[in-house]
Amino acid sequence: MTWQFSLTGLLIGVLVGLTGMGGGSLMTPILILFFGFKPTYAVGTDLLHGAIFKSFGAVRHRRLGTVHARLALWMFAGSGPMSLVGIGVAAILAHYYGDSAQSAEAKAIGIALLLGGAGLFAKAFLRPRPDGRELAVLSRRDKAIAFWLGFGGGFIVGLTSVGSGTFFGLVMLLVYPLAARRIVGTDIFHAAALLWVAGFGYLALGKVDLHAMAWLLVGSIPGVLIGSQIGVGLPDRPLRLALASTLVLSGVKVAGVPESSWIIVGALLAGTLALGGWKLVQRQARRTAPVPISPAD
């Protein structure tokens, strides 16, 4: 099984290229649901793959000057060590509880996906500050928020692999006066550093499928370049809403919610009907819109 991994990597790469961040959160549930990975191996493979994959974006944003390095460093001061704590908790649970620990971790991943989807829903309706020159100096409050954000978010990422872009980006959007390009750049730069720590932690425990990771990279690296190009002319909000819905539905399935299959089918039908209704309204609005009359020569 090789091309299937590359195709999955291509899909994730395109999503990350389209949305900036958040698309990578789909990797873990895909590995669990479609490839039959145990949750621990899915998390480890996802983290190390993400570290390599997102480093390309981090370098690019650093060269463009869209990274707030001090803010990223303060977040990493909390997230790096706590990601190792999350990995340690996962390893202890797996050692003492075996298969039942895998079930518990799957539920934790499902909950994280639900929270990540909710975060993306919120980000779809929030707008960053237009001016990116603020926050030249970090106050004590700014540093404290960044550290404790990393502290909590790092643990979640280490345990579940979910949220390296969604949670941190959402809080930066709400708290810090940064323009969109600096939020995205700082988010990706911090995520890459965090995922290297967490990825090597799982690699040291032997919880990374290197064969799968290599073939995922074959698709994801060109995928993010393709997504970045085709995403230029696409509306951002519908993309984020679609991705958020996918994360929520994946969380429902991975967490093992009773009757999850029917919930997913119902949500897909509702989404299809809503999309059809929206298209009809748009078409009707275009038909009834007054035609502008050009002035006579």
pLDDT at position 128: 59
pLDDT at position 74: 95
The torsion angle over the Cα atoms of residues 199, 25, 5 and 224, rounded to 10 degrees, is: -100
pLDDT at position 13: 80
Query: Which tens digit of pLDDT belongs to each residue from 61-103?
Result: 888 888 888 999 999 999 999 999 999 988 888 777 776 666 7
List all residues 6 or more positions away from 102 whose beta carbon is below 8 Å from its beta carbon.
Answer: 38, 39, 40, 94
Query: Which tens digit of pLDDT belongs to each residue from 14-59?
Result: 777 666 555 567 788 888 888 888 888 888 998 899 888 888 878 8
**DSSP character string of 114-142:** HHHHHHHHHHHT----S-----SS--HHH
Query: Which tens digit of pLDDT belongs to each residue from 136-191?
Result: 778 898 899 999 999 998 998 888 877 666 678 778 877 887 776 787 788 888 98
Side chain identity, residue 5: F
Give exposure, 216-237, as e/b (b: 16+ Cβ within 10 Å).
Answer: bbbbbebbbeebbeebeeeeee
Position 132 confidence tier, pLDDT thresholds 50, 70, 90: very low
pLDDT at position 196: 94
Place of tokens 């649901």: 33
Model's pTM, two decimal places? 0.75
pLDDT at position 210: 94
